[in-house]
Structure 1
Amino acid sequence: MSTKQSLRITEIFFSLQGETSRVGLPTVFVRLTGCPLRCGYCDSEYAFHGGESWTIDRILEEIRQHGTPYVCVTGGEPLAQKGCLTLLTRLCDEGFAVSLETSGALPIDHVDPRVSRIVDIKTPGSGEVMKNHWQNLNVLTRADELKFVICHEADYQWARQLIMDYSIHHRCPVLMSPVHGGVEPDELANWILRDKLPVRYQLQLHKVLWGNTPGK
């Protein structure tokens, strides 16, 4: 089936997945342009504006050239473009293992159920905590993952309380990572161990390997 619908694309690149349970897997990343949030620690501000118009057919053609089954649709905020839902379904129909990285500010209930939804919960330290779309918590499944980016200990305590109050770890795997260049990685690790918090600690592998280089 041909799909002529277009999306605004900042970049498509081949790299190692740096986060989530798929960390380390060779993955094609499709970075959509635009985001309604302005998190203080954002590392993809270059995706807020610009980009180029690509048809979904062209996107699929580019992805196939890299020879990997893993595709991650990210941003910006990919769900800010209506055509993102069509792209996700088309990728699944083509047999790819698809993940979606979303800020958690927009509803995820219409995303194709074959997609693994990686949903960020914005902490107070992000500056965008008021943008969280809390209803998303009700539709998470074990195929999804929830992520907290921690700026400081107050963020950690806020996230810890939320996890325990709503038993989020029983809904889906919970990820927790330190802001790159912010809270020390060993500090966050020690807090998690101290509290026996049922989360997966993660560092951004791509930052360890390549720093803040776009397209990595």
Structure 2
Amino acid sequence: MKLTPATGSGGPRSPGATLRINEIFLSLQGETSRAGLLTVFVRLTGCPLRCVWCDTEYAFSGGSSRPLAEVVAAVLAFGVGRVCVTGGEPLAQAACLPLLTALCDAGCDVSLETSGALDIGGVDARVSRIVDLKAPASGEVARNHWPNIELLTAHDELKFVLADRADYDWACAQIREHRLDQRCPLLMSPVADRLDPPTLAGWMIADRIPARFQLQLHKQLWGNMRGK
């Protein structure tokens, strides 16, 4: 694939950039409105956060440095037009932005899974930004970058990963205060082994919460297996 020096809508092009890649694999999307769909995952190495319940600690380090063009070619080789860039925290690498633009320019349907601790303003407008707003039990609620809320559109999604009733009440308060359901689709997930899924579902039903309840489909299928 030849990368041109042009600029896509909303993102820079840096064909000579390199990224620290933890893994690239094909699987089924386990979360968001795309759950169940064939998706190529590009997992970048590194994360500045240390959430108590993190299930991808292996992505904090390791991996290999790969040129941007090589990463795009590896994605396209799967023959699947849907790709999710994740981590770790992908936006911790500056070259994530040109990667997202290059994938869009290659005709991919691109989503980005980000913690919400870093500014999403530079992300190509064609990318669906899946922002994980950190609840108190994560241990990282103070790291939320609140200006991101104003940038969310109907093309994006906002996720709450909840460990207990206090997390749930906090999430409901944010939805009311910021009118989040009027900005983008909302997602609520229970932390595995911390919050019973039927309990969270019951709270959402009782309170008429305008959000999608979700379980991590990939964990239902394969457990916490790497590369799935």
TM-score, structure 1 as length reference: 0.99
For structure 2, the residue ranges without an aligned partner over 5 or more in a row are 4-14
Q: Take 2:73 and 2:66, find their aligned partners in 1: how far apart are those partners?
A: 11
Indicate which of 80, 91, 95 corresponds to 1:83: 95
Aligned to 2:171: 159
Aligned to 2:159: 147
Q: Take 2:163 and 2:148, find their aligned partners in 1: how far apart are those partners?
A: 23
Deviations 1:86-139 (A, max 9, x none): 000000000000000000000001100000000000000100000000000000
TM-aligned CA deviation for residue 170 of structure 1: 0.2
Aligned to 1:190: 202
| 1:67 correspondence with 2:82 | no
| 1:201 correspondence with 2:201 | no
Amino acid of the structure 2 residue aligned with 1:135: P
| 1:108 correspondence with 2:120 | yes
Indicate which of 172, 179, 183 corresponds to 1:171: 183
Amino acid of the structure 2 residue aligned with 1:48: F
Aligned to 1:117: 129
Cα root mean square deviation, aligned: 0.7
| 1:4 correspondence with 2:16 | yes
Identity %: 60
Q: Take 2:150 and 2:76, find their aligned partners in 1: how far apart are those partners?
A: 34
Q: Take 2:159 and 2:96, find their aligned partners in 1: how far apart are those partners?
A: 21
Indicate which of 28, 34, 46 corresponds to 1:34: 46
Q: Take 1:166 and 1:4, find their aligned partners in 2: how far apart are those partners?
A: 40
Q: Take 1:214 and 1:126, find their aligned partners in 2: how far apart are those partners?
A: 22
Q: Take 1:98 and 1:19, find their aligned partners in 2: how far apart are those partners?
A: 14
Q: Take 1:164 and 1:210, find their aligned partners in 2: how far apart are those partners?
A: 36
TM-score, structure 2 as length reference: 0.94
Q: Count matched residues.
A: 216
Indicate which of 109, 121, 128 corresponds to 2:140: 128
Q: Take 1:65 and 1:112, find their aligned partners in 2: how far apart are those partners?
A: 23
TM-aligned CA deviation for residue 4 of structure 1: 2.6
Amino acid of the structure 2 residue aligned with 1:131: R
